[in-house]
Amino acid sequence: MQHNKGLSMAAFGTVFMPEMAITEFNGEQWSAPRKAAVEHIQLHPAAHVLHYSSTCFEGLKAFLHADGSVNIFRMEANIARLIQSSRLLSLPEVDAEMLREMITSIVATYADKTPTPPGSMYIRPTHIGTEPSIGKAAGASASSMLYVLLSPVGDYFSGGVRPLRLLIEEQGARCAAHMGMVKSGGNYASALQPIMQARAAVNADQVLFCPGGDVQETGAANFMLIDGDEIITKALDSSFLHGITRDSILTIARDMGLKVSERELSVDELLERAGKPHCEAALSGTAAVLTPVGTLIRNGTEHVVGTGTEGATTTKLRTALNEIQWGQRSDDYGWLTKVS
């Protein structure tokens, strides 16, 4: 089997497999899932998603192992979160078994296109409201479409690990407080302007949203502070995304003997701890797994985190998770689903 090594130079998420898995809900039942060309989908211009943002999605990855098998990482957790997001957006109920079959079948179809590690096959299940009605600003879409895209991606750190610069934003939030746990496109749209402004103003890579001084998350990733043998991160509530990579990292950290503190963290405490030479900070997410944070910017003042470079604990945690994903370490948690 000849696996794909040649797409790693493309920008993340810009290359797609020629087919996707797709099904539609007509108000009463789902159609039989099928494969379809990815060139386009057909939507009425009044489709609910285009006007009232009834959309949610997931991001997960499949990995090629040394034995030639292709394995999806934490698919069940992503399916559960898509079902939860759909419910919170009042989209039609998604059947877990149907989505499971859609994901595994389309990944198996393109198993031979899965890049070798550290590359992977990125999987994007997407659920959108399709009912043609511009009168439903306060009503749910009766019909919807569910599809699964595949995008082969290369090494996120191909240019080397570069600690990120984060602008601390204490006024605005990433999204509405009750919507944070929904993985919806609207949340990313609402964070776009602050992120772009932060890049232009202080050369920040991302914005760390801390409304009222409460450290939450960045525009696209969860935040962790690592102070010695303790990881401090915000406890789960409805205001921010319940990251599956976050959960994976914290699970591994506990088993390594690290203390995991899921609690409120203020900006003042964050900056006080960050100044210690042994302190680290990182962002967790599907794309990069765990990315070091080197600088925090508050009110025009730059605060270096620890040494300003990637710390040993960040490296150790990312390596441990990668080794499970890549089949180089025992999957003691049952996180992998073999599809090919």
Which sign, positive or negative, has the C-alpha torsion 336, 149, 164, 221?
A: negative
Task: Please give the mean pLDDT across all residues of the chain.
Answer: 95
Q: Model pTM?
A: 0.95
pLDDT band at 158 (very low <50, low <70, confident <90, very high): confident
Report pLDDT for 2: 55
Report pLDDT for 288: 86
pLDDT digits (tens, 9 = 90+) for 275-324: 999 999 999 999 889 999 999 999 999 999 999 999 999 999 999 999 99
State the average pLDDT over residues 39-50: 96
Q: Taking 60 as the threshold, does the pLDDT of residue 5 lie above it? A: no
State the average pLDDT over residues 41-63: 98
Report pLDDT for 1: 53
Which sign, positive or negative, has the C-alpha torsion 336, 219, 242, 254?
A: positive
Residue 238 to residues 155, 171, 175, 184, 315, Cα–Cα distance (Å): 32, 18, 11, 13, 29
Q: Taking 90 as the threshold, does the pLDDT of residue 238 lie above it? A: yes
Among 296, 3, 264, which residue's Cα sits nearest to residue 163?
A: 296
What are the DSSP E strand ranges found in 171-241? Answer: 206-209, 217-218, 222-227, 230-233
pLDDT band at 4 (very low <50, low <70, confident <90, very high): low
Torsion angle, CA of 126/127/133/139, rounded to 10 degrees?
-140
Determine how β-strand 70-73 pairs with β-strand 144-153.
Answer: unpaired
Q: Taking 90 as the threshold, does the pLDDT of residue 11 lie above it? A: no
Locus of tokens 């998603």: 49
